[in-house]
């Protein structure tokens, strides 16, 4: 009868001494929780501020914000909508992604699996450097060099491939959706390449050797052992690039002809994006005009959020498969 009482006595005592929180833990927990709370509060405040600014403008709008194409929030009867801007943002970013990803993956594979070691490290360094170049530099290069240069290739595409709707149209210009997408592609290429290279380098040597020992050529080895391993990493790199392309302001503001029209003719004088429109319009905007631009910024934020969530979803699904396999 005595034994149980003794254990109940010693139990809590033991717990107190052995599992007491160590001394440094308290302040650290406090500081990290505090930092997290402050950060959330600041973000909520910014979001609230933006929404408060946007709402009056949206109320003053005489058209439907989500479907309207024109953008005249500064008029006495404000008419504006996100339609053409959102379209331009998504189309230019997708085109950029389509152009950049295959090239970036090729560059990454060359660095990780083909180039001799010296060359590989030099190239890797260059790619990292390019990823850090500010976007305005790409924008200026785009305006001064690429815009005039693209007139020739664009005319060629229109002449010989005009039957493809994307390349059709009457007037062909340098400041086109295609040129803007190219600048975006060149801008996001180094990021995608840098991340992909890191991922490819981590491909397990064991599986690479398994493929080689089966009589795989280097490319076959890459296809069986490296690419399947690297796919989730490449997807997240591409999504990161897509996010950067969609949010890009200066580079495309310099190139887009700033029209408010939905057109798939990527060689014609059409194109604009949410970010470019904000950069171009904020200076001369009225109160309502600013509110309208802020509202468009919130839409851009939502789009990038959706893209990121989609990317996470894709990666999580692949991870699940990998875990089931492990």
Partner 1 sequence: MAKQIEVAGLDAYYGSHKAIEGISMTIEPRSVTAFIGPSGCGKSTFLRTLNRMHEVIPGARVEGKVRLEDQDLYGPEIDPVSVRRTIGMVFQRPNPFPTMSIYDNVAAGLRLNGRVSRSQLDGIVEDSLKGANLWNEVKDRLARPGAGLSGGQQQRLCIARAIAVRPQVLLMDEPCSALDPISTLAIEDLISKLKQDYTIVIVTHNMQQAARVSDRTAFFNLAAQGQPGKLVEMDETSKIFTNPAEKATEDYITGRFG
In sequence order, what are the residues at sequence separation of 6 or more whose Cβ sits closer than 8 angstroms to the Cβ of residue 315? 232, 235, 236
Least separation in angstroms between CB 119 and partner 1: 13
- Give the burial class of 296: count Cβ atoms within 10 A of its Cβ; 0-12 exposed, 13-18 middle, 19 or more buried: buried
Confirm if 269 and 176 have CB atoms less than 8 A apart: yes
Least separation in angstroms between CB 205 and partner 1: 9
Q: Encoding tokens for residue 314?
A: 């894709």
DSSP run (H or E) holding 80 = strand 79-80
Residue (16 or 117) nearer to partner 1, CB: 117
In sequence order, what are the residues at sequence separation of 6 or more whose Cβ sits closer than 8 angstroms to the Cβ of residue 203? 225, 226, 229, 230
- Interacting residues toward partner 1 by CB under 8 A: 117, 204, 206-207, 209-217, 220, 224-225, 228-229, 321-322, 324-326
Residue (183 or 225) nearer to partner 1, CB: 225
Least separation in angstroms between CB 124 and partner 1: 16
Q: Encoding tokens for residue 41?
A: 């509060």
Residue (20 or 205) nearer to partner 1, CB: 205
Residue (24 or 215) nearer to partner 1, CB: 215
DSSP run (H or E) holding 11 = helix 2-18
Least separation in angstroms between CB 321 and partner 1: 8
Residue (110 or 141) nearer to partner 1, CB: 110
Residue (207 or 308) nearer to partner 1, CB: 207
Least separation in angstroms between CB 203 and partner 1: 11
Confirm if 146 and 179 have CB atoms less than 8 A apart: yes
Least separation in angstroms between CB 320 and partner 1: 12
CA–centroid distance for 234 within its chain: 13
DSSP for residue 62: S
Least separation in angstroms between CB 236 and partner 1: 17
DSSP for residue 167: G
DSSP for residue 68: -
Residue (132 or 326) nearer to partner 1, CB: 326
């Amino acid at each position: 009868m005595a034994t149980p009482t003794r254990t109940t006595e010693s139990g809590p005592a033991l717990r107190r001494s052995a599992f007491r929180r160590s001394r440094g833990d308290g302040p650290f927990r406090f500081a990290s929780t505090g930092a997290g709370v402050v950060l959330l509060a600041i973000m909520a405040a910014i979001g609230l501020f933006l929404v408060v600014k946007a709402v009056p403008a949206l109320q003053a709008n005489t058209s439907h914000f989500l479907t309207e194409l024109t953008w005249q929030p500064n008029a006495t009867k404000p008419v504006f909508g996100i339609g053409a801007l959102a379209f331009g943002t998504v189309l230019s970013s997708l085109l950029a992604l389509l152009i950049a990803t295959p090239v970036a993956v090729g560059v990454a594979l060359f660095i990780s699996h083909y180039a001799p070691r010296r060359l590989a490290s030099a190239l890797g360094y260059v790619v990292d450097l390019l990823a850090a170049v500010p976007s305005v530099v790409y924008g200026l290069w785009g305006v001064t060099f690429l815009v005039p240069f693209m007139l020739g290739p664009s005319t060629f595409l229109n002449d010989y491939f005009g039957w493809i709707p994307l390349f059709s149209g009457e007037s062909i210009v340098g400041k086109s959706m295609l040129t803007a997408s190219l600048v975006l592609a060149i801008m996001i290429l180094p990021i995608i390449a840098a991340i992909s290279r890191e991922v490819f380098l981590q491909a397990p040597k064991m599986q690479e050797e398994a493929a080689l020992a089966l009589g795989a050529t280097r490319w076959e080895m890459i296809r069986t052992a490296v690419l399947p391993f690297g796919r989730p990493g490449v997807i997240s790199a591409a999504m990161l690039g897509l996010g950067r392309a969609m949010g890009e302001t200066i580079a495309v503001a310099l190139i887009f002809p700033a029209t408010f029209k939905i057109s798939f003719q990527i060689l014609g004088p059409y194109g604009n994006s949410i970010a470019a429109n904000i950069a171009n319009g904020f200076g001369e905007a009225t109160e309502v005009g600013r509110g309208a631009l802020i509202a468009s910024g919130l839409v851009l934020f939502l789009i990038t959020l959706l893209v990121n969530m989609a990317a996470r979803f894709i990666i999580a699904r692949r991870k699940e498969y990998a875990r089931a396999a492990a």
